[in-house]
Amino acid sequence: MSRVGKHPVSLPQGVTAEVKGQAVTVKGKLGTLAFTCPPEVEPSLTENTIVMTPRHATLESRRLWGTARNIVANNVKGVHQGFTRGLEIEGVGFKAAVQGKDLVLNLGFSHEVRYPIPEGVSIKAEKPTVLVISGFEIQRVGQVAAEIRALKPPEPYKGKGIRYAGERVRRKEGKKK
């Protein structure tokens, strides 16, 4: 039995929701997000809450019950507050800057790397070595952060590369004579 699915999703002030069949549409100050629930889960709107209920007592419907509830909860939080993800750049001469609609990264290659900033996501370079990625769709913010990190992931010997804020990199001992 899902423990997450039991909790209703409350709508904060300024957020409206609409349920039509399996589609749940959430509107807020940052934008609009829609999610189509799987057929095993039935969404319903009551006053200021969205409640998910499984249609059957099967294992698959119980699995999807909590997942659908969390996706709708993330959509509500996204249109109300938004999501942020931080990246730290470690290494001598490694830096980042936002130029127009591109993120320009110097990562120790012979050339600078240009990453086009996708629609619906904003990137700020608070310092040359600290990036903040923000947006109202959690999946897109996480995907952009993962793509930027994949350009130069942290290596285990000196720790150079791009890492998530607060990420610990396991260090290895170098060669011994």
The CATH number given to whatever domain includes residue 51 is: 3.90.930.12
Structural domain ending residue among the three candidates 80, 106, 133: 80
Confidence (pLDDT) at 138: 92
Specify whether 13 is located in the same domain as 72: yes
- Which residue type occupies 14? G
CA dist list (Å): 26 to 37, 66, 68: 13, 18, 14
Average pLDDT, the chain: 90
Specify whether 68 is located in the same domain as 93: no
Structural domain ending residue among the three candidates 80, 113, 136: 80
Structure tokens belonging to residue 90: 């470690």
Specify whether 94 is located in the same domain as 157: yes
Query: Residue 123 sits in which domain range?
Result: 83-164
Q: How many domains does the chain have?
A: 2
Measured distance CA(76)–CA(73) in Å, rounded: 5
Residue 103: inside a domain, yes or no?
yes
Per residue in 115-147, pLDDT (tens digit) is: 999 998 999 999 999 999 999 999 999 999 999
Confidence of residue 63 (pLDDT cuts 50, 70, 90): confident
